[in-house]
Structure 1
Amino acid sequence: MRLGFLASHGGSAARHITAACAAGELAATPLALASNNSRSLALAWAREAGLRTAHLSSVLLPDPAALDAALLAFLMESGVDTLVLSGYMRELGPQLLGHYTGRVVNIHPSLLPRHGGRGMYGDRVHEAVLASGDAESGATVHLVTAGIDEGPVLAQTRVPVQPGDTLATLKARVQAVEGELMLRALRQLGAGTA
């Protein structure tokens, strides 16, 4: 696989996956990262890691169709065949989704379909899990489609919600399983078994 990443902030998934590729744990080549945030730590890290980078945002390209086309062009020019969302906080456009159908993956910090959809990201998800009284949470890697968090599930890992959990403790427990879950899903996708 030839990997591209979209990230808005730190890009922890991109970093974990790139390190796994360098260690021979994933048969893939990280090539490029684009961010909608010119100050994102992910952009700075990707430049230092030797990835091709681009800042493409609605500030630079206010027309959604133009932004969609620019993202697609950047990824195609970079040789990307599989796209990983690494904390990317924007919806993808129809051109990009159409070109990469079945090859865009995202990780969500809950057991989808629970606690997914519009507005459900980051700490909001963990807060919703705690408020619901769920006995377990976890992480889900899914294919990205036009619907928010609605794409087919590739892999899930469950973690218990423990008595006395706080946002911080539940978040830490979920984040601890996300990296290996994403690698497992990418291996399945690369092998054609996803």
Structure 2
Amino acid sequence: MLKIVVLVSGGGTNLQAIMDAVEAKTITNTEIIGVISNNKNAYALERAKKHGIPAMCISPKDYESREAFNDAFLDELQQLNPDLIVLAGFLVVIPEKVIRQYEHRMINIHPSLIPAFCGKGYYGLKVHEAALKRGVKVVGATVHFVDEGTDTGPIILQKAVEVKNNDTPETLQRRVMEEAEWKILPKAIDLIANGKIELIDGKAVVCGE
């Protein structure tokens, strides 16, 4: 059984997609053992509690220094002892000590087709604003392993979404979530839970489908 902890900052729509998929058994062999947010007002925490999942807030604002926060964050993760950490709209930079501790055991969902519109400063609506400004015809989402870079880890899954002529950043964001994010994040977790992702020469390869 793959034990996962989900990290969130806001509404938790990707968290909801994961919880729904676990309950529907489209994610198999998986248990959500905790949800952590940096925002005590995040609706994601309420979503978790409604499903009986332990949920807590660990915010940099509550610590004297970033180092103190990093230590507390790592300590909490170690107590939970997850097999996999899932970043589902988590807007805090992951400390390097956490990345090292959970190497190849931490994944992130990003609302673009990496390497387009990713890296420092590209998050939330900013990604979709940039895509529309550039005039691209196809956008999408990417699930990747987390490494020390920003959106640079091995890519696990991607799904494309067509851009429409009348799209706004908000409508595009919603469609990318519905058509891509909420589908490939649960799928990636299921693949990992069932041993179907291998890292070969620094690339994530889907095996045995």
Provide TM-score, normalisation by structure 1: 0.93
Aligned residue for 2:92, secondary structure, equals: coil
Residue in 2 that maps onto 1:101:
103
From 139, 155, 158, the equivalent of 1:156 is 158
Shift of 1:94: 1.6
Shift of 1:93: 0.5
Q: Is the CA contact (8 Å cut-off) linking 2:108 and 2:143 kept in structure 1? A: yes
Gap runs ≥5 in structure 1: none
Shift of 1:63: 2.1
Residue in 1 that maps onto 2:86:
84
Shift of 1:85: 0.9
Shift of 1:49: 2.0
Q: Residues 94-133 of structure 1: matches in 2 within 5 Å?
A: 94-133=96-135
Percent identity, aligned pairs only? 33
- Aligned equivalents of 2:65 and 2:171: distance in 1? 40
Residue correspondences, number: 194
Q: Is the CA contact (8 Å cut-off) linking 2:26 and 2:190 kept in structure 1? A: no
Shift of 1:50: 1.7
- Aligned equivalents of 1:133 and 1:85: distance in 2? 28
Gap runs ≥5 in structure 2: 198-209
From 18, 32, 53, the equivalent of 1:51 is 53
Aligned residue for 2:47, secondary structure, equals: helix
Q: Give CA-to-partner distance per residue, 1:41-67, whole Å, 9 cap, x none.
A: 112222232222221111112322222
Residue in 2 that maps onto 1:29:
31
Q: Is the CA contact (8 Å cut-off) linking 1:31 and 1:52 kept in structure 2? A: yes
Are residue 180 (structure 1) and residue 172 (structure 2) matched?
no
Q: Is the CA contact (8 Å cut-off) linking 1:52 and 1:78 kept in structure 2? A: no
Aligned residue for 2:62, secondary structure, equals: coil
Matched to 1:124, the amino acid is: K
Q: Is the CA contact (8 Å cut-off) linking 2:109 and 2:143 kept in structure 1? A: yes
Moved over 3 A (4+): none
Larger deviation: 52-61 or 150-159?
52-61
Q: Give CA-to-partner distance per residue, 1:18-72, whole Å, 9 cap, x none.
A: 1211221112100101111111111222223222222111111232222222222
- Aligned equivalents of 1:73 and 1:187: distance in 2? 27
- Aligned equivalents of 1:96 and 1:8: distance in 2? 18
Aligned residue for 2:123, secondary structure, equals: coil
Larger deviation: 176-185 or 114-123?
176-185
Aligned residue for 1:182, secondary structure, equals: helix
Aligned residue for 1:189, secondary structure, equals: helix
- Aligned equivalents of 1:60 and 1:158: distance in 2? 39
Are residue 11 (structure 1) and residue 12 (structure 2) matched?
yes
Q: Is the CA contact (8 Å cut-off) linking 1:69 and 1:96 kept in structure 2? A: no
Larger deviation: 170-179 or 137-146?
170-179
Shift of 1:147: 1.0
From 193, 196, 208, the equivalent of 1:193 is 196
